[in-house]
Amino acid sequence: MWLEEKKWQEIRRLVPIPSVDGIIIKDGKVLLLKRSVKPVGKWCLPGGRIEFRESAESAAEREVFEETGLRPYIDKLVGVYSDPDRDRRFHSVSIAYIMKVTGGKLRINGESTDAKYFRRLPKDMAFDHAKMVRDAFKCLKPHRRIK
C-alpha cells in the first residue's frame, strides 16, 4: 500500500526515518556522488531510505547498486548517525557501512550528476557524510586519515 505524498510528508515530520549509507573505498579514495536532488550540487555517499520489511543490510546493498551500478557487499559497520539536525529536510537516522565491490560498472542515476573517487573530501559535502567517511577510515586503519 502506497501513501499519498502529502501524508508521507506529514509522517516524515513526526518520526525519524531509518536510512543507510555505503562507503566504498578504493586505493585510499572514497566514492562520492554529486546530488541532482535536494541538497542539489552537494557531494554525498550513496544511500537512502530503508524500505518497509527490508533489513538495513539489504537496503545498503540495494541503494548502492541503484545509485552507482556497482555490486556491493557489507564489509564493516561504521556507525549509527542520529543527530536530529543531520538532514535539514527531515529527521533521519542513518546506518553507515564500509562496502566492498564484487562487480558492476560505475554509473549514475537520476539522483546524481556525477560520481567520483576522492582522496581529499570536497568542501561541499551533504549531511554528515564527511564525518562518516572520516569514521570509516578510522575503522580501517587508525593511522590513516582523509582530510
The model's pLDDT over 35-79, given as tens digits with 9 standing for 90+, comes to: 998 888 999 999 999 998 999 999 999 999 999 999 999 999 999
In which domain, by residue range, is 62 found?
16-140
Q: What pLDDT does 129 receive?
A: 97
What are the distances in angstroms from CA 21 to CA 10, 130, 143, 144, 146? 24, 12, 23, 21, 18
- 10 within domain boundaries: no
Query: How does strand 92-104 pair with strand 47-49?
Result: unpaired
- 3 within domain boundaries: no
In terms of DSSP H, where are the helices of the chain?
5-14, 56-68, 129-140
Q: What pLDDT does 143 receive?
A: 57
What's the CA gap between 56 and 88, in Å, rounded? 22
Cell 526515518 locates to 17
- 8 within domain boundaries: no
Q: What pLDDT does 80 receive?
A: 98
Domain count, the chain: 1
Q: What pLDDT does 86 receive?
A: 86
Tell me the average pLDDT of the chain: 92
Res. 142: pLDDT tops 90: no
Cell 505524498 locates to 5
The identity of residue 28, as a single letter, is G
The CATH number linked to 55 is: 3.90.79.10
Q: Any idea of the CA torsion for 73, 105, 31, 124, to the nearest 10 degrees?
A: -130
- 106 within domain boundaries: yes
Residue scoring higher pLDDT (143 or 46): 46
Res. 9: pLDDT tops 90: no
Which helix or strand (DSSP H or E) is residue 102 part of? Answer: strand 92-104
